[in-house]
Amino acid sequence: MPLTPELFRAALGRFASGVTVVTSLDAGGRPNGLTVTAFSSVSLVPPLVLIGIDVANDSGPAIRHTGRFNVHLLAAGHEGWSRRFSERPGGTDPFVGLTLDRDEHGLPHLPGALAFLGCRVVHDIPAGDHVLFVGQVDAIDVSDADPLLYFRGTYRTLAMDTSR
């Protein structure tokens, strides 16, 4: 088969991933956030994670401005958050109507996430139509909820094998 963008997207859609919302502040100090499935751990020592953001998205400049970003790993039941922070036509502000906490750096913190990672940017890498930010984790919080998953263009939840 010839490699096309559609075939590449179809192949990658078969990789089940967790869903995150990444938040920061823009140059005016306003909350900025987006849904990100391009998230990965990079290193345990030091604790590093990676996020990939489309260069056309306004979150890249916000992260560059603050030098920080927060990653919220979404739990089952947070599909609404994921949809809210996905790119929307017309640029609707996903923070409108949300009561949100702030971390010690003033960045938006969504309470109740499966896990929260506060990160300081250590690398900013151009990569095709995306930019990769590697962040050193310096704040963390975890819960025992089940994850929200994304597979073949739809949200899923983890079906636990209770036979063991």
Q: Which residues pair with 78 in a beta bridge?
A: none
Which candidate, 11, 14, 51, 48, places its Cα nearest to that of 35? Answer: 51
CB 120 within 8 A of CB 68: yes
Supply the mean pLDDT for the chain: 90
pTM of the model: 0.90
Q: Is the pLDDT of residue 161 over 70?
A: no
CB 104 within 8 A of CB 140: no
- Give the pLDDT confidence score for residue 13 in this predicted structure: 78
Q: What is the pLDDT of residues 3-24, one digit of tens each?
A: 998 888 888 778 788 999 999 9
- Please tell me whether residue 41 adopts helix, strand or coil conformation: strand
- Give the pLDDT confidence score for residue 11 in this predicted structure: 85
Locate the domains of the chain by residue range.
Answer: 17-152
Q: What is the pLDDT of residues 122-149, one digit of tens each?
A: 999 999 999 999 999 999 999 999 999 9
CB 54 within 8 A of CB 61: no
Report how far residue 148's alpha carbon sits from residue 32's, in angstroms, rounded to the nearest whole number: 21
- Alpha carbon separation from 63 to 6, 57, 103, 124 (Å, rounded): 29, 11, 15, 10
Classify strands 31-36 and 39-43 as parallel, antiparallel or unpaired: unpaired
Q: Which residues pair with 124 in a beta bridge?
A: 133
CATH topology (fold) of 17-152: Pnp Oxidase; Chain A (2.30.110)
Report how far residue 19's alpha carbon sits from residue 31's, in angstroms, rounded to the nearest whole number: 19
